[in-house]
Amino acid sequence: MNSWIALLRGVNLGGHNKISMEVLRDICVSLKLRNPRTYIQSGNVVFSSSESDPAKIAARIESAIEKRCGFRPSVMLRTTAEMRDVVARNPLAGRPEVHPAKFAVFFLAVAPAVEIAGKVKAINVGEEEIHPSGREIYVYFPEGQGQSKLLPALDRTLKMPATARNWNTVNKLLAMAEDAEFAG
């Protein structure tokens, strides 16, 4: 039995693509995903499943949301071990000035091609830092994301769906997944 973390892209933003966390949990239950638990309103759900193919699980969740809610968000999945690895690879570890609410991880369904990853790493918009690493891109916004010039450049360069979570959320989701594995 695997514990999974599902990260939905673009839900509950500015009144668009609304889905309550109760509905998201109900959808997961209807798909026979075990013990679904949500965290905050931005589309995070931790669950257990004997299924091992993340693409199939993601497609099932996307289709079920589309059927019930009328929109189809991209779903990025990580196992507990993968999320542990995301935390372990933190390129800004040991830097006390980095505020966790201003540090985000962008999750991708697949790693970008080498040339795209190189272009992402080369994005330079001032004080913001960007660190691509496999299926994740770590970004530090010292002045916050609100006025970021990096986000539009990142979107233009990546040309693939990504969803971001701040460092506090990443760690909370990992803790929830580890609890689910322990309770297992």
CATH code, domain with 52:
3.30.70.1280
175 domain-assigned: no
Note whether 78 and 20 are same-domain residues: yes
Instruction: Return the pLDDT at 182.
Output: 58
**% of the chain at pLDDT higher than 70:** 96
Supply 7's token pair.
């990260």
pLDDT at 58 over 90: yes
Does residue 14 register a pLDDT over 90? no
Q: Is 74 found in the same domain as 94? A: no
Provide the pLDDT for residue 183: 57
Q: Cβ atoms within 10 A of the Cβ of 42, count?
A: 19
> Does one domain contain both 55 and 92?
no
> What are 18's strand-pairing partners?
none
Q: Are both 18 and 32 inside the same structural domain? A: yes
- Could you tell me the residue range of the domain that residue 133 belongs to? 85-170
**68 and 105 belong to one structural domain:** no
Is 184 domain-assigned?
A: no
Query: What is the overall mean pLDDT for the chain?
Result: 93
The predicted pLDDT at position 146 comes to: 85
- Domain match, 58 and 120 both: no
Residue 11 has pLDDT above 90, yes or no: no
C-beta neighbour count of 87 within 10 angstroms: 14
Question: Is the residue at 183 inside a domain?
Answer: no
Task: Give residue 136's pLDDT.
Answer: 98
Per-residue pLDDT tens over the stretch 119-158: 999 998 889 999 999 999 999 999 998 888 899 999 999 9
E-state strands within 39-184? 44-49, 75-79, 103-108, 129-133, 136-140, 162-166
Together in a domain, 70 and 131: no
66, 126 contact by CB (below 8 A):
no
Closest to 109 (Cα-Cα) out of 141, 77, 86, 82: 77
Q: 71 and 97: one domain?
A: no
Question: How many independent structural domains does the chain possess?
Answer: 2
Same domain for 148 and 103:
yes
pLDDT for 79 equals 96
